[in-house]
Structures are given as structure tokens and as C-alpha cells.
Amino acid sequence: MDRITADSSVCGGEPCIKGTRIPVWVVLSHLAAGDTTKELLEEFPSINESDIRACFEYASYLAKEHVA
């Protein structure tokens, strides 16, 4: 997951797409609302399809974690 970073000096430490100030949750919420990948890429020209897939991978990782 080298495309997703969390830095306390960027967006309050929220996981973001590396090199941007675009949090993972923003990408996922756009897709959940029905936006297409094409629309997302037009809205955020600094990201690419690999970045979007990395957001899914990150969400999948979080969903797999077990909370005790």
C-alpha cells in the first residue's frame, strides 16, 4: 500500500493518496454515491486508476481487521 500515506501534518493524519491532500474516504464516498471512475478522475486530476484501486485495497484491509 505504498500509494496510501498518513502524515500528521497532512489532513490531520487521515490516510490520503500519496502526494495529494485527498483522503481515502473522499474517494470511496464518491464511488459509493455512484460516481464513476472516469468522473472521479475528472474531479481529481492529480490521481489515477491505481490510486483508486489502492483506496479499495486500504478499505479492504481495514474491513479485514478484527476489533476485540
Enumerate the domain spans of the chain. Answer: 4-64
Per the CB < 8 A criterion, the answer to whether 61 and 3 are in contact is: no
| pLDDT at residue 48 tops 80 | yes
How far apart are alpha carbons 42 and 37 in whole angstroms? 9
Predicted confidence band at 65 (pLDDT cuts at 50, 70, 90)? confident
**What confidence score (pLDDT) does residue 47 get?**
98
Query: How much is the pTM?
Result: 0.89
What is the rounded average pLDDT for all residues in the chain?
A: 94
How far apart are alpha carbons 8 and 52 in whole angstroms? 22
- Give the right CATH number for 4-64 from 2.40.220.10, 3.90.79.10, 1.10.1240.10, 1.10.10.10: 1.10.10.10
Q: What is the pLDDT of residues 2-20, one digit of tens each?
A: 999 999 999 999 999 999 9
**What confidence score (pLDDT) does residue 1 get?**
72
**What confidence score (pLDDT) does residue 9 get?**
94
Per the CB < 8 A criterion, the answer to whether 4 and 56 are in contact is: no
Alpha helical stretches, state H, 1-68: 24-32, 37-43, 49-64
